[in-house]
């Protein structure tokens, strides 16, 4: 009976070790995939959402400034007319 318990303990330990290895391999595969995707995206010159939003805000501000300058120019030209 002792032999049977020892075999079960050994099998249990083996399964526990196998699960640890599998979890480590999963984490390593995820890290490798993320790294590969990051490199692929960087090679494509894609921008991040934050970069896009920053440029969009700058363009909106420039548009507003252009409209204000145009209105001011029209007022000055109208006054000279």
Mean pLDDT, the chain, rounded, equals 89
pLDDT in tens, 28-46: 999 999 999 988 888 888 8
Verify that 37 and 51 share a domain, yes or no: no
Verify that 22 and 7 share a domain, yes or no: yes
- In sequence order, which ranges of 1-81 are alpha helices (DSSP H)? 2-43, 49-80
Tell me the C-alpha distance between 28 and 25, whole Å. 5
Residue span of the structural domain in which 58 resides? 47-81
Q: How far does the chain reach from its first CA to its final CA, in angstroms?
A: 112
Verify that 35 and 9 share a domain, yes or no: yes
Verify that 25 and 59 share a domain, yes or no: no
Q: What is the mean pLDDT of residues 43-51?
A: 88
The half-sphere exposure of 5 on its side-chain side, counting CA atoms within 13 A, is 2
Verify that 41 and 51 share a domain, yes or no: no
Torsion of CA 24, 29, 31, 34, to 10 degrees: -160
Provide the pLDDT for residue 79: 66
Tell me the C-alpha distance between 51 and 59, whole Å. 12
pTM score: 0.44
């Amino acid at each position: 009976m002792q032999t049977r318990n020892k075999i079960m303990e050994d099998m249990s330990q083996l399964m526990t070790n196998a699960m640890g290895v599998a979890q480590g391999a999963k984490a390593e595969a995820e890290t490798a995939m993320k790294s590969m995707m990051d490199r692929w995206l960087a090679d494509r010159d894609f921008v991040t959402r934050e970069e896009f939003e920053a440029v969009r805000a700058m363009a909106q501000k420039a548009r507003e400034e252009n409209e204000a300058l145009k209105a001011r120019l029209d007022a000055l030209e109208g006054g000279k007319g």
